[in-house]
Amino acid sequence: MDVVTPDQIQVLRLLCDTVVPAVDEPGDTDGFWARRATDLGVDRAVLAALAPGQHDAIGALLDVLAGQGFRSAPPVRREQILAALGPPVTPLISLILLLTYGLTDAGGGNPNWARLGYPGPAGPVPPADPPAITPLRPEGDLELDADVVVIGSGAGGGLIAGRLAAAGARVVVLEAGRYHTEADFDQGELAAYRRCYRRGGPTPTADANVTLMAGSGLGGGTVINWTNCIRTTPRVRGQWAGHGLSDIPTLSFDQHLDAVWRELSVTDHCSEFNPAHEAMQRGAAALGWSFATAYRNWDEKRHDPALAGHLGFGDPSGAKRSTLKVYLEPAVTEHGARIVDGCRAERILVEQHRAAGVVGHWTSADGARRATVTVRAPIVVLAAGALESPGVLLRSGIGGPAAGDHLRLHPCTVTLGDYGTDMRGWWGPPQAALVNEFAAAEDGHGFLIESVQYSTGLGASAIPFSTGAGHKQVMAGYRGYASFIGLVRDRGHGRVTLDAAGETTAWYALDDELDVRNSRRAIEAQIRLHHAAGARGVRVLGHGLAPWTAGEDLEAFIARAREIPLRAGGAVLFSAHQMGSCRMGADPATSVADPRGELHDTPGVWIGDGSAFPTASGTNPMITIMALASRTAANISGSARG
């Protein structure tokens, strides 16, 4: 049917105002407590946010609510109905919260932000450079000839396209997302998700255990990521040698790391601390834990810490040294590379067991025009990110039994410390520092404690809902919170499969015993860090766990927090680091590509992105992805010459 009926819309409106109700509160000068979700048009925004195919599922969920008497139930009973429904209704509740605190009005603001202490987008914004690239926009079905076709233009694909074009190859890049420049980046959270993120923003794994975030657009994740640069650790380099990548621990890989570091202008001179980072530093000092200022890929001359606070929504200052700026723009302007944005690679063409090119589907930005794009090339670089690269292989029937397996996510638990003072999380780089005391807590696996991009929408939706008034109460204290994450180097793994429509589906259960131990350690360490930094309260983002308040028994709270289930309905888990699903290795039974990066079963197809990692990097992966891609580019050039 794919339409939501008037009855269902009525239930949706009730649901919105159950999640964000009007609450009687004296002294409500800015209307925060009285404002309901529907006062902001959240019901209409929910329907607009749904893809057409999702209307049936939402309609069915609303019918279930109606069947349980939601329409006539008093507010408390409605909350009980939601609690009893549990995980199936959680994504819709999260969407309502995301919109309530993320939507903007015609003036670019949201009336709830005043209470949250968020001043809105920063300014002034310097004038944007004119677009450097003109992507190909097909008038009809298009056939191109090239030496190399690169699928995906993120950390890995963007670098490889740049290197090979500079070496003289005729390169075509197919990118599913769109080309955006500084002029498009208005610092708005929801607009950024629609514009620059895979599937329009944070999306759950199929089992709802982990919320996934990945970039999509020309430059991929490097356009919206948080610019935290960490070199591959000796431990991981040694482990990868055990997978057959014998040069990784040697000087030759150092040269790739050094080149990337230099080309990205990585610096620690633009990592100012906001009060949330100061809290992290204070806590680490009190506990004697190792703490480091972050290095970032950033142009010092264009740096403005106020604008840097919004860089996860696209950097309007032009300071960010993304692969778009560093590799793709010169590839096009100086070396004649051709870019097709809005073009999703469907499958790799294989002739006589070798790569022969790629077929993709192009759609114009307004969705009105479509075309088939065929690129004939003897070399295909697959770099669609670890969530999508296996999909291309599976649709093409190549890659062997490991295609899609060994998906690593660096699953993150999240805590909020309540410091009772304005933490100004929206100011300064989102990741200006980290605690690396526990990076190798056990057997080379451990966790980093880091901070996050300030956001009102995602921040609100990540705080578990149990009652409307309770959630508002938590949001009312938002300006006083510092968010930390505990980012675990996972030993266990998930998998990417294809659904009936040929779309990728990611599955991930955090059930490896070492990962469970480290996630619990990470929760405990975050709590101790907030406590040592002087927080008057600590909240672990997870369902059913009451927060700790100063004066209560901290050890008892830690004991309870360590027991929270690490899955849907328990701890809130995020991943912004997807890796390993088309991994390199010596054994075709457990890896997709050989140790140089070329498919075991299809010569001429190379894996160029984070999906090539043999195991999780344990550090924010961009630098490792790019150094590995630099090595793969050299291997491609070497094999073409040989």
Ligand X SMILES: Cc1cc2nc3c(=O)[nH]c(=O)nc-3n(C[C@H](O)[C@H](O)[C@H](O)COP(=O)(O)OP(=O)(O)OC[C@H]3O[C@@H](n4cnc5c(N)ncnc54)[C@H](O)[C@@H]3O)c2cc1C
**Residue 191: CA count within 13 A, CB half-sphere:** 14
CA distance 452 to 430: 5
CA distance 395 to 499: 11
CA geometry: angle at 192 spanning 394 and 174, to 5°? 35
CA distance 485 to 416: 9
Residues 6+ apart with CB under 8 A from 293: 268, 271, 432, 433
Shortest separation between residue 623's beta carbon and ligand X, angstroms: 6
Nearest CA among 483, 458, 466, 490 for reference residue 566: 490
Task: Please say which residue, 385 or 400, places its beta carbon nearer to ligand X.
Answer: 385
Task: Please say which residue, 121 or 468, places its beta carbon nearer to ligand X.
Answer: 121
Task: Please say which residue, 214 or 616, places its beta carbon nearer to ligand X.
Answer: 214
DSSP string for residues in 57-72: HHHHHHHHHHHTTTTT
Task: Please say which residue, 97 or 622, places its beta carbon nearer to ligand X.
Answer: 622
Cα 452 to chain centroid, rounded: 11
CA distance 478 to 261: 36
Torsion (CA) 365, 574, 418, 285 in degrees, nearest 10? -120
CA distance 384 to 155: 10
Task: Please say which residue, 345 or 350, places its beta carbon nearer to ligand X.
Answer: 345
Task: Please say which residue, 212 or 561, places its beta carbon nearer to ligand X.
Answer: 212
Task: Please say which residue, 19 or 392, places its beta carbon nearer to ligand X.
Answer: 392
Task: Please say which residue, 386 or 482, places its beta carbon nearer to ligand X.
Answer: 386
Shortest separation between residue 201's beta carbon and ligand X, angstroms: 10
Task: Please say which residue, 161 or 284, places its beta carbon nearer to ligand X.
Answer: 161
CA distance 449 to 527: 11
Q: Which residues sit at the interface with ligand X, rule CB under 6 A?
A: 151-157, 174-177, 213-217, 220-222, 224-228, 312, 344-345, 383-386, 388, 392, 431, 576-577, 609-610, 620-623, 625
Torsion (CA) 55, 57, 60, 64 in degrees, nearest 10? -130
DSSP designation for 327: I
Q: Write out the E strands in 153-270.
A: 171-175, 203-204, 211-212, 228-229, 266-267
Q: Which residue is nearest to ligand X, using beta carbons?
A: 154
Shortest separation between residue 290's beta carbon and ligand X, angstroms: 19
Shortest separation between residue 142's beta carbon and ligand X, angstroms: 15
**Residue 172: CA count within 13 A, CB half-sphere:** 24
CA distance 535 to 286: 13
CA distance 638 to 169: 13
Task: Please say which residue, 385 or 480, places its beta carbon nearer to ligand X.
Answer: 385
